[in-house]
Amino acid sequence: MKRLLIGALGAALLASVSAVSAAPKSGGTINVVIQPEPPSLMLGITQNGPTQMVAGNIYESLLRYDTDLNPQPSLAKSWEVSDDGLTYTFKLQEGVTWHDGAPFTSADVVFTADTFLRETHPRFRVSLAHVESITAPDDHTVVFKLKNPFGPFLGIFEAGTMPMIPKHIYEGTDYANNPMNATPIGTGPFKFKEWEKGSYIHLVKNEDYYIEGQPYLDEIYWQVIPDAASRAVAFETGKIDVLPGGSVENFDIPRLTAMDGVCATDKGWEYFAPHAWLWLNNREGPTSEVKFRQAIMYAMDREFVRDVIWNGFGNVATGPVSSKTRFYSDDVTQYNYDPDKAKALLEEIGYDGTPVRILPLPYGETWQRWGEAVKQNLEEVGINTEIVATDVAGWNQKVSEWDYDLAFTYLYQYGDPALGVARTYLSSNIAKGSPWNNVQGYANPKVDELFAQAAVLADEGERQELYTQVQQKLVDDVPVAWTLELSFPTIYRCDVKDLVQTAIGVNDGFKDAWLDR
């Protein structure tokens, strides 16, 4: 057994090293932290992070993705794409049943994608705008016919984006109020057993899973422990086997990973590629000035934040697309830490000292320290600031109503700019009431055009050319202040094997995990 040691700055970033393991063993119970407690486990209706993490082991989609974002079989055992890029034909696994024993067929896929998720899943609905029809020639074949080529189409078939929903339970019902939402039924390797609110969620092995011998574990307890320090103690004392990314404060990670028999990995986030920035209100106040926004970029010491506040767990962002996401380009203006350049820009526009409000994310001490670091950086170049403290509900409300000047956030990229990046910058996505759309109010017709053209091209070289152009334009306009590509290490006991095998990590990882005890 090998143990990963992490330096104070985490420079090498968490790559678990292990010898070739023996054949997986069946049996055992695993305890995992889930934080915060999910509001629901009905993945077709609720898609926030904690819901995806737990329910991704209850529900499945047609595909999974490896850590290079290549599609892999799941409920679809094979697929074909027509030469013109308009027809996608999926052959389904045979012998699959829902957790209540009903057979899973192509009718469930058509119902899920063409009816249920059109109503309940806004992000998926955007991708469906490119789909002309979804048909089922037989019980084990599904055909998606597109209106136009859509480059990232094969990237929308993971459990959080297109979870398969049982037609026989939901057809003709009020989806949001269906009583079965409280006891979710999927096809996945684990079945819902019990939810003791405020304490734990209990999943048990699906004995009728279609892959013989899997899953290996007997049961999973997702433990709800609200306090970050208490979560760290629970791991130290052996109550917890797995700390998913973000479970503990960054400053606790070096101590926990230095323990005997503890391993860690930064893999399992490739599909999400969490990207952090400051929303900058483009509508009014000092942040409505492009050069003021550029001054903010030069004023921030993002290397300090990465190395000290995030303990080395992340990379400095160069723009709107993560280096982990397809079509990334670093051929953009570089905003290195340069307080003198920031001061010169402020003098050029005649900044009059109007204060700006900073809204940190209320996600724990790490984020509060980050807010204080940015405040100090900005004040050092002459920008007057005020930190506005909120809880999660208050943060959501202020950002949704555009009541801020600078506000911390991070969003997922979903493997392709058309799926997770464009939504932040398209002028058509400016609407009050959501903290996840074009909150900053940025509008540039050329950027809209480039995103629209790139999304429907089949040739990857042509897509890269357009996405490079859009990154260059956005980085010059600074609609938001990009900070870090976040890294959320998963910490686990080394006798937990094969936990992170896909680009969504623990969200579907317990299908393959086993205990070497």
The DSSP string of 343-390 is HHHHHHHT-----EEEE--SS-HHHHHHHHHHHHHHHHTT--EEE---
User: Could you read off the pLDDT of 487-517 as tens digits, one per residue?
Assistant: 999 999 999 999 999 999 999 999 999 999 9
State pTM to two decimals.
0.88
Domains defined for the chain, CATH in brackets: 1-58+188-269+488-517 (3.40.190.10), 59-171 (3.90.76.10), 275-486 (3.10.105.10)
Question: β-strand 496-497 against 514-515: which pairing, if any?
Answer: antiparallel
> For residue 219, is pLDDT > 80?
yes
Residues 6 or more apart whose Cβ sits within 8 Å of residue 202: 193, 194, 195, 196, 219, 220, 221, 222
User: Could you read off the pLDDT of 278-292 as tens digits, one per residue?
Assistant: 999 999 999 999 999
Is residue 222 within 8 Å of residue 200, measured between CB atoms?
Answer: yes
User: Could you read off the pLDDT of 1-29 as tens digits, one per residue?
Assistant: 222 333 333 333 344 444 445 799 999 99
Q: Helix, strand, or coil here: 112?
A: helix
More confident residue, 141 or 12: 141
Q: Mean pLDDT, to the nearest integer, of 282-303?
A: 98
Mark out the alpha helices in 209-325 (DSSP H runs).
228-236, 253-257, 290-299, 302-304
What pLDDT, on a 0 to 100 scale, did the predictor assign at position 434?
86
Closest CA to 319 of 297, 338, 344: 297
Q: ∠ CA(195), CA(197), CA(203), 5° rounding?
A: 20
Report how far residue 474's alpha carbon sits from residue 274's, in angstroms, rounded to the nearest whole number: 18
More confident residue, 134 or 125: 134
- How far, CA to CA in Å, does 491 sit from each of 51, 53, 81, 433? 20, 15, 38, 36
What pLDDT, on a 0 to 100 scale, did the predictor assign at position 21?
55
User: Could you read off the pLDDT of 426-457 as tens digits, one per residue?
Assistant: 999 999 988 889 999 999 999 999 999 999 98
Q: What is the mean pLDDT of the chain?
A: 94
Report how far residue 242's alpha carbon sits from residue 31's, in angstroms, rounded to the nearest whole number: 7
445-455 helix and 460-477 helix, angle to the nearest 10 degrees: 160
**Lowest pLDDT segment from 4-8, 80-84, 175-179, 213-217:** 4-8
Closest CA to 167 of 141, 188, 185: 185
Q: Mean pLDDT, to the nearest integer, of 234-261?
A: 96
Residue type, 97: T
pLDDT band at 123 (very low <50, low <70, confident <90, very high): confident
